[in-house]
Amino acid sequence: MAGGWSRDGAVQDQIDASVQDAVKKARDLLPSGESLLNCEECDKEIPQGRREAVRGVRLCVNCQTAHDESASLNSFNRRGSKDSQLR
């Protein structure tokens, strides 16, 4: 349903590319390797259950929550495409 000079499906292609970028970014942020015993930020002990549940965990729940909240404030649609107008 593209109009003007764009081909059919161009808007959906932009949406798909934005979703693929977000998935790649999320996968790149996943921890890997062996979990730490103590948090990198506050040095509190990371509970055994968290270390078993999240492979490669490096932060306690409180520090991870703060990290996730600050990271979400910095996200934007760098493509500047029509998909940002479809919300």
What tens digit of pLDDT does each residue of 18-70 get?
999 999 998 887 878 899 999 999 999 999 999 999 889 999 999 999 988 88
pTM > 0.75: yes or no = no
Count H helices and E strands in the chain, helices first: 3, 0
Output the average pLDDT for the chain: 81
User: In the chain, what are the domain boundaries?
Assistant: 29-73
- DSSP letter for 44, please: P
